Structure 1
Amino acid sequence: MPRTAPPTHRVRWLVIVCVTAVLAAAVAALAHRPLTSSSSSPPLGPSLSAPASSFSAVPPSNAPRRKRRGPVGKADGLVSDGVTVFNDRFPAVANLDPDLLRTLRRAARDAADDGVTFYVNSGWRSPEYQKRLLRDAVAKYGSEKEAARWVATPATSSHVSGDAVDIGRTDAASWLSGHGAEYGLCQIYENEPWHYELRAKAIDRGCPRMYADPTQDPRMRQ
């Protein structure tokens, strides 16, 4: 006896069941995929991590920088050979006390009539320059006590205050030794025949008695 075909409603039910199973499997597969897009950048793994230092803040180009002090120079009072008392381009000359400088130039003009030129071996000095000279003197003479016979501290130096000038050369120092008092220009220390300061009263009274060296000067004990 031949088999009869299944009822139509049963076939439709089987088709619905099969389609539902297929859709369920597809949804499950999509649920396990990472939700990334083609425009997203992959996260950095341990081997691709940038070093922390690369994210440090970079100071702006106009940020203040620590100034480093180099060797002393012209701005500190250093002079080159051939600088005279008329050379204002050097702070060693231009920063001298105005009265001292004016008197020096007046004496220099008179000395020029005798063929003598006033050269400046040292005039005004910055405190830094004076500190370095003092350190060099300590190294040279072996002690602060001995160095004090030649170099004062920045706090007591008449060069730092602009009240002293070291005159070169020998003929100029010799000329001042004989005529300086007429202008109020006086040698202050016996051991420094080049060191001159202004003593206005010397014009009438003569220069005061010299100290043996700076350690005898009461100004150096401040």
Structure 2
Amino acid sequence: MSNSFGTYWTMKMSDIFPSYNDFKDCYDNDIPSVMKTYTITPEGSNTPVTTSYVSNTALELTYYLLISNYTNSPIANMDQNQFKMRLFANIMQYGPIWEKRMDIQKKLRALTSDQIKAGSKAIYNYSRNDGTPVTDLEEELTRLNDQNTTNYKKAPLEAYGQLYEIIGEDITKSYIDKFKKLFLTVATPQKPLLYETDTEEVEL
């Protein structure tokens, strides 16, 4: 079949990963575990915990975002295995930050009006009882000799202005743009265009 737009030497994203199942199968079976999980020891514990760099939900969303942006884009590598390693290395490097920022944005959008306008709180305690001072609590304490609390509240314009500044609209775009270097961006095909002409001579 002739292609009026020309062809490339390398395969396209949709050729390598035609479905999410193919994408997930490659991630599960072909990618080293060191690029998928890491081990940490939580503070106050002696038991190491193995955690994934990205959740399955974030991995699936990444696939569909890549397909929506690069489905017909030729990859920049002749070697498909190198392309796969580079792609999943990008997910390991940038995916956790993107997923955390998405979670923060979701929480920001879920704030109520009262939460948006709430300010900081200053609590001053005094007690004649002997004991260790308590300074790590965020709420008022009961049964104290003396306690003063100062609650600050933001004006609506100030509160919503701050929220407007921190709600991001390009978080996902900046993440997906990290994958641009994995695909060819030239406008001309790698293989020459072939044209068919009518070989019959026209009689005048």
- TM-score w.r.t. length of structure 2: 0.24
Larger radius of gyration: 1
Greater length-normalized contact order (CA 8 Å, ≥ 6 residues apart): 2
Bigger strand share:
2
